[in-house]
Amino acid sequence: MPEIVFIEGVSGVGKTTTVKALHARLRARGYAVKSYVEFDFQNPIDFYCTAYIPQERYRELCQSYPQQAGQIKRYSIYAGEAMLVRYFDGDRQLFPKRLMGELGEMEFCYAPPHPVPLAEYTRTYKTVWENFDRSADGAVDYYIFDGSLLHHPLNDMIRNYDASMEQTAAHVGVLLQCLRRVGASVFYLFTEDVGAQLRLARQNRRQAPPDSGAVAFWEKRREYDEYVLDRSVPGNCRMDLTRYGHAAVLDRILAAL
């Protein structure tokens, strides 16, 4: 069965770069690999611009938009008591303006106007991850995910629910328990100075430098991450980029796999 590889770390630490390089190196060695970077529309266990729609409301929505019903179903993910409907692919809108507005009002993760209860947020993720575990392609050797275990879920939980460290650790523990048929390896990338790394990353991306509030948030995130790793992620491997650099860290990840 496949091995799932989670590349984690705070913003700007080089997760996406590492995922792409790891994908290429594993493919060069003859392995079958699927990888998903941030905002990847195809990611089966992580979400952006995705509406949470209870089953009855989902049926009503399909009836209200008969011309788009097929497309709604095409971009839907079963989540038990609800359906998740993706409505953006990158910057591309997937539906007409009116329907896009309705779906945006039901956003699940990113700054949702009406957040579902925190317990329902975790239950929904649990259902999707269990379905992925059951349906993972046995022909794939490695699935590689950019921030799908810690980075994105913890952002949602802190910003949308003001979740405690204990609550985020519990959520991540639930997700890992869903992975019964596939193995999972977690590699956490970090630097000694979160602010300096974030400023460098923003500069390389030609973005405005982070203000003090952004730096403080990611320093707080680093504390949350360490707490969750200690309590809910057994066997995680933490990689010090300040000490080793990206090239050596990639070699160490490959050796561990």
- Please give the backbone phi and psi of residue 8, each rounded to the nearest 5 degrees, phi first: -125, 170
- One-letter amino acid of 138: G
Q: Give pLDDT, residue 61.
A: 97
Per the listing, tokens 């209860």 go with: 117
Report how far residue 120's alpha carbon sits from residue 132's, in angstroms, rounded to the nearest whole number: 18
Cα angle 197-198-203, degrees, rounded to a multiple of 5: 100
Domains of the chain from N-terminus onward: 3-44+116-256 (3.40.50.300), 50-105 (no CATH)
Report how far residue 219's alpha carbon sits from residue 203's, in angstroms, rounded to the nearest whole number: 19
Low-confidence ranges of the chain (pLDDT < 70): none
**Cβ neighbours around 121 below 10 Å, total:** 22
User: Is the torsion defined by CA of 197, 200, 206, 212 positive or negative?
Assistant: positive
Residue pair 51/85 in contact (Cβ under 8 Å)? The answer is: yes
Q: Give pLDDT, residue 194.
A: 86
Q: Give pLDDT, residue 198.
A: 82
Of 213, 257, 222, 227, the C-alpha closest to 240 is 222
Per the listing, tokens 């890992």 go with: 176
